Amino acid sequence: MLPKFPLGGRVQWPLELFRRSGRIATADQQVGVAELAAADRERTLDGAVRMQYGRAAAAIREAQVAAVLADTVERQVAAVRARIDEGETPRLDGDLLEVELRRLRGQRDLAEGRAERAMLALKPLLGLSAEEPLALRESIETLVGARTASVAPQRPAGGAERADVRQAAQQVSVAAAAIDRAEREGRFDVGLFGSYMRMDAGFPQLGFAPAGGVERVRAQFHYVSGGITVMLPLLNRNQGDVAAARAEHAASTARQQATELAARAEIAAATVRDRWARQALTAYDTSTHDLARRNLDVVRQTFELGRATVYEVLAEQRRYLEFEQAYTAALLEAWEAHADLRRAVGE
């Protein structure tokens, strides 16, 4: 007998009367979780950009104040040196101012270095490389002034609109869908199948054909089959997966409650920080700033008239520098408090 050469195929079509809808529902919920995770990442990234922008603007202001004060003292040193040459001022006064000038130059250089580092830290957050140019459009005073003038929209106290809170709630829905899917996997199901096979078989002997000629004994056979398969889960009803899905649902519910508590705590803390920062900023209003500047000018003019010592000038200059640094710190705190509040409420 010659070898047989089968040729055919088999097709199976599971109907999935219960399982398909469970998988689709779970996948849809997981897509929602992924979208909310991206939204929460955008929220945190927006807050990081705002924070770093304010730090860069504050560092630039601090460098500008140090540069202006160093230039002023440099002109003052030149004037005192001229008076020393004329014998009107002791040389010690010039030496003291020279030391102060060098100290201020060092502070200016350090402040400019901090400003440059702050700008470099801001660039990656904006998607820029370290070599690309970047300039801030608004100063820290403009940022805080615009923030004070604007009124933030009302947000729910519990942070219900925050992406991470919504994501935690969505994960509970995913866990519920997983329970339903696991239960569906334990039900009976029906499937269809069909197959076809062509068999070519023959013998080495020769025989007479119907027409009278001689031909090899050979024939082709075609087999077609079909039917229905029924899966009956008698002993295995997917109890393990159902129990695991229910445990995950309980854990997701607990995580949701913890996320909501954390969101409310963050909003409360950010609100307190913003309120006190705005209150502290009122101490550095325009009149206070003008008064500090006027005090420094008066002491300098008094020294030029010979009615004040160089020690009084140095003390007042350092007091003014400390005032400007404290004002910059208050501006930065006000801006960071505002940015932190916006991040906390999910804006």
Q: Is the pLDDT of residue 41 over 80?
A: yes
pLDDT interval class at 110 (50, 70, 90)? very high
CB 184 within 8 A of CB 21: yes
Chain segment 49-85, per-residue pLDDT in tens: 999 999 999 999 999 999 999 998 888 888 888 888 8
Task: Name the β-bridge partners of 201.
Answer: 219
Q: How many other C-beta atoms are found inside a 10 Å radius of the C-beta of residue 336?
A: 19
pTM value? 0.76
Partnered with residue 208 across adjacent β-strands are 214
DSSP 208-277: E-TTS-EEEEEEEEEEEEEEEEEE--SS---HHHHHHHHHHHHHHHHHHHHHHHHHHHHHHHHHHHHHHH
Phi then psi dihedrals of residue 195, to 5 deg: -145, 155
List alpha helices for 126-238, DSSP H: 140-149, 163-185
| Distance (Å) of CA 45 to CA 181, 272, 274 | 35, 23, 20
Q: What is the band of 313 on the pLDDT scale with cuts at 50, 70, 90?
A: confident
Residue 88 region by backbone torsions, left for phi larger than 0, else alpha for psi between -120 and 50, else beta: alpha
Can you give the pLDDT at residue 2?
Answer: 47
Backbone angles phi, psi at 134, to 5 degrees: -150, 130
Residue range 244-254: average pLDDT? 92
Please give the CATH number for the structural domain made up of 7-345: 1.20.1600.10
Enumerate the domain spans of the chain. 7-345
Instruction: Work out the average pLDDT over 95-117.
Output: 92
Query: Is it the case that residue 238 has pLDDT exceeding 90?
Result: no
